[in-house]
Structure 1
């Protein structure tokens, strides 16, 4: 009974850790996605201007 309960809590903690990592990754993607796109738009423009 106790072992089962411990196993369940460990599983819950494990899944919550995965959930937190996924949410953090999504947050970073939403934050840095537009910034990365802007940089990629910016640098080819600079290269064209230098030519």
Structure 2
């Protein structure tokens, strides 16, 4: 089985996905997704964004 890892992208108000890569194991898919996160990303929190 092949896992296709995608990420949502916004192109002028239209959402679509971009393929990050393909893997054969779930663990590889998670590692691939994590490797594309910014280094300075903060923790996930419940609720909306407040400025």
TM bracket, shorter-chain basis: under 0.3
Q: As a proportion of its length, which structure holds more strand?
A: 2
Larger RCO (CA within 8 A; separation ≥ 6): 2
Which has the larger share of helix? Answer: 1
Q: Normalized against structure 2, the TM-score is what?
A: 0.27
Report the TM-score, using the length of structure 1 for normalisation: 0.27
